[in-house]
Amino acid sequence: MELLCIRQWISGLLPTWLSAWCIKPVGGALVRQEPEYILLALMGSPLKKIMLCSSEKEIFSVEEQVMVQHSVIINNMIEDGSYNHEESKIPLDCVDSKTLKKVIDYCTHHTHHHNDNQEDLEAWDAQFLNVDSNGLYDLLMAANYLEIRNLLDLIYGTIKNMIKGKKIDEIRRIFNIKDHGFTPEEEEQNRKEYPHFY
């Protein structure tokens, strides 16, 4: 039976309060560990984990399989052998802890729930992206850096919906564009030619 199935089977058996107790120190930081991992570690068959280090020097431990499936950058690092499981961690200096945790959440959910039906996944995605706009842009930059295709498509789709049906003044407000850079004549010309955009 595949390791992933064992893990899911165990997690199904355990009560949820148990996860609150499963904390272990890793690399000088405290990391929340899902109980099934601890059990598996106790059983002597740990799943391969990798360490990601945020810009705030916080370490996150995550299943290698999860990150390799979603992030092209991490997949390449592991394949070309530049990552050593025993000691090294992957430094992600342009991603802060809050964003990195969200990214890991996304990848983990999509790996573990990839057999779910489309509607459930979409509902989860919608809930996942229910963040303020700064959080959204941070996620976009992180997903771009890590090259996570499906998260990128999801965020671009959300931004597209933010712009849809809006007038130009609203779009300028949404993107914090204070100075549009057109001369008064150019702005006048635009307003004359496309009055329905304003």
Partner 1 sequence: MDSPCDSVIGDRDLLTEILLRLPVKQVIQCKCVCKKWSSLISNTKFPYSHTCRLYHKYNNNPPPTALLVQNFADTKAQRASIVPLHANDNNDNKMFFHLDLDGCNYRSSIMHSCNGLLLWNVIPTSQPGPTSEDSRACHFRIHNPAMSDDQCVYLDYPVGDVDSPYGDDIFEPFELKAYLVFEPLKQPLSYKVILFGQMNPSVIYYGRRVGFKVLNPRIEIRLYSSETCGWSEVICNLPDGLRVTEGVYCNGAIHWFRLDHDNSVYFDTNRLCFDKLPAVPSVDDSCVKYFGECRGRLHLILSDTLEFDIWELEEDYSSWVARYRVNLNRMHDGESALWWNVSSNPFSVLSFVHRQEEEEENSMLVLFKNGKIMSYSLEDYGLRVLCKVYRDEVPRSIHQYFETLLCVGNS
Question: What are 51's strand-pairing partners?
Answer: 61
Q: Does 124 bind partner 1 (CB under 8 A)?
A: no
* Member of 16, 176, 184, 185 binding partner 1 (CB under 8 A): 176
Cβ proximity to partner 1, 43 vs 174, nearer residue:
174
Q: What are the Cα distances from residue 21, in Å, to 32, 77, 193?
A: 9, 33, 64
Tell me, by CB under 8 A, how many residues bind partner 1.
34
Distance of closest approach, residue 173 Cβ to partner 1, in angstroms: 11
* Member of 140, 146, 151, 154 binding partner 1 (CB under 8 A): 140
132: its two tokens: 């303020």
Cβ proximity to partner 1, 16 vs 176, nearer residue:
176
> Any idea how long the chain is?
198
Spatial separation of the C-alpha atoms in residues 178 and 124, rounded to whole Å: 35
Q: Does 181 bind partner 1 (CB under 8 A)?
A: yes
> In this structure, which amino acid lies at residue 62?
V
Q: Does 83 bind partner 1 (CB under 8 A)?
A: no
157: its two tokens: 């789709």
Distance of closest approach, residue 156 Cβ to partner 1, in angstroms: 5
Q: Does 144 bind partner 1 (CB under 8 A)?
A: yes
Of 71, 112, 111, 109, the closest CA to residue 90 belongs to 71
Q: Is 119 helix (H, G, I), strand (E, B) or coil?
A: helix
Question: What are 29's strand-pairing partners?
Answer: 26
Distance of closest approach, residue 39 Cβ to partner 1, in angstroms: 39
Spatial separation of the C-alpha atoms in residues 159 and 136, rounded to whole Å: 9
Q: Does 9 bind partner 1 (CB under 8 A)?
A: no
Cβ proximity to partner 1, 50 vs 154, nearer residue:
154
Q: Does 129 bind partner 1 (CB under 8 A)?
A: no
CB 27 within 8 Å of CB 51: yes
Query: By the criterion CB under 8 A, which residues form the site for partner 1?
Result: 133-138, 140-141, 144, 152, 156-157, 159-160, 163-165, 168, 171-172, 175-177, 179-182, 186, 190, 193-194, 196-198
